[in-house]
Amino acid sequence: PVQPIRPAEVHWMTAGSGIVHSERTGPEQRAAESSLFGLQTWLALPTHVEEAAPDFAHYKAQEIPVAEADGARLTLIAGTSDGMASPVKTFSDLVYADIQLAAGARYQVKAEHIERAIYVVEGSVAVLGQTGTFATGELVLFKPGAEIVVQAPQGARLMLIGGEPFPERRYIFWNFVSSREERIEQAKADWKAQRFAAVPDEDEFIPLPETPAPVRYP
């Protein structure tokens, strides 16, 4: 599919057994000065769906749940939180949300998911009961079950990330992620041989980087 990307909409791609895509700026934007603000996030798939058929889904802005209270605005991109459920199709129990805090506003990070973290996109935040603050570009991991309240002294924008942990490790090489190293090696060979389907109406090919072996996480 070809789908324009507009503010507040969600474009959800499931790579599964392998997908090729292209993100382009149209000629009308290229002709004038413009800016792009966004964050790319990868979610691991459970092993039983790692080889699922690739998929792409588009969700309009009005479909995405939003909650506002006391200077805090939470947009639930995927998963569940704060009594809301996003319509975005996922394969595991998770939370992925955009949180905007006005100066002095607070947000309680719910303990309904075992793994929880916030990524500070803009501004800085403090965790009530602890000293110091976390600044733009920092990822803050929380202990499972701990009561967490964050506050933004001067305002902040955060991404809330969390979910249930997988029992298997994951490996990553370039744009390939898998629970099996040999599967990544196969994907590398397929990419070099250009066995992946091509993006329609494009003839550009990006060579496979010559870098060390896949990195294991965690």
Provide the pLDDT for residue 125: 98
Provide the pLDDT for residue 23: 86
192 Ramachandran zone, left/alpha/beta (phi>0; psi -120 to 50): alpha
Provide the pLDDT for residue 2: 82
Which are the contacts of 35, defined by CB distance < 8 A and separation ≥ 6? none
Provide the pLDDT for residue 64: 97
SS3 118: strand
Provide the pLDDT for residue 76: 98
Superfamily of domain 10-163: Jelly Rolls (2.60.120.10)
Spell out the domain ranges in the chain: 10-163, 170-217
Mark the ranges of the chain whose per-residue pLDDT is less than 50.
none
Which are the contacts of 38, defined by CB distance < 8 A and separation ≥ 6? none
